[in-house]
Amino acid sequence: MKMLHFRKDGQAQWGWLMGEAHVTPMRKLDGEAASEVFPLAEVELLPPADPSKIVCVGRNYLDHIKEMGHSFGKDLPQEPGLFLKAPNTLVPSGSEVAYPSWTDELHYEGELAVVIGQTASKVSEEEALDYVLGYTNALDLTARDKQKSDLQWIRAKSADGFLPLGPVLETKLDPGKTTVRTWVNDELRQEASTELMIFPVARVISYVSQFMTLEPGDVILTGTPSGVGPLQRGDRLRVEVDDVGIPLEVSIV
């Protein structure tokens, strides 16, 4: 089922997508639907998460590791390589994201995102997916030149608008058996099965929860496949995870 986070009459709330053009509010998050039904055209869509933190996995697809010029020799990484993005990066599908004046290398990275549904601390890999509220499309924007030049990745990864997310949260999805695709100006640039992940979603959740308590609303970005590249002002992007179904759409201005 597909969940939406939206604002109506100044109030942020969650709801279930009804068909393709309507939403019904929930009485409580991930709970019973209310009796009202609103046309989607009458609500303001919000990113389908309200995180205290956004944990990201770098280098989780071998082809992406190779295209970035990194090598682990004959062995793959033994642990997920993690970094954080700040909550100010979140913007909804349909947003216009400003190309910052301080970078010449704004890059796109399409990904599967995971939204946590209940507090997870020191959970096992076997039970990790039970803590997931749902899955959605994500666009990890990166100032690649600042990623290389700055001491830390704060500016490169956490500028305003650097994480378009949504528009829906799919609750019924096998994160290990779906496909991530990214289009730039209707040209397919990225396409890969999540079966190619070095660290599957359950392992990532379990790993993070051993040292950092994951709270409801937190987001995990699971890594990007090969095909990343630079953007220009005026570019239109679309990211779609197969079983999420409804794509994320963003313009760079």
144 HSE (CA, 13 A, CB side): 11
Number of residues in the chain: 253
Flag whether pLDDT at 202 surpasses 80: yes
On the question of a cis peptide bond just before residue 167, with omega within 30 degrees of 0, the verdict is: yes
Torsion sign over Cα 91, 157, 241, 201: negative
Q: What is the CA radius of gyration of the chain?
A: 18
| CA 115/CA 28 separation, integer angstroms | 17
| CA 253/CA 232 separation, integer angstroms | 8
| CA 67/CA 156 separation, integer angstroms | 19
Give SS3 for 193.
strand
If residue 244 lies in a helix (H) or strand (E), which one and from where to where? none
pLDDT value at residue 31? 64
pLDDT value at residue 98? 98
Name the β-bridge partners of 14. Answer: 5
Report how far apart, in Å, the C-alpha atoms of 153 and of each of 105, 191, 239 are: 14, 26, 23
pLDDT value at residue 32? 66
Question: Which domains, from first to last, does the chain contain?
Answer: 1-45 (2.30.30), 47-252 (3.90.850.10)
55 or 245, higher pLDDT: 55
Flag whether pLDDT at 43 surpasses 80: yes
Nearest one of 167, 108, 182, 105 to 141, comparing CA atoms: 108
Burial 155-187 (b: 16+ CB within 10 A, else e): bbbbbebbbbbbbbbbbebebeebbbbbbbeee
pLDDT value at residue 35? 74
Q: What is the pLDDT of residues 55-106, one digit of tens each?
A: 999 889 888 677 766 666 666 788 999 999 999 999 999 999 999 999 999 9
Tell me, yes or no, if the pTM score tops 0.75: yes
What backbone phi and psi angles, to 5 degrees, belong to 180? -105, 130
What backbone phi and psi angles, to 5 degrees, belong to 150? -85, 155
Q: What is the pLDDT of residues 120-172, one digit of tens each?
A: 999 999 999 999 999 999 999 999 999 999 999 999 999 999 999 999 999 99
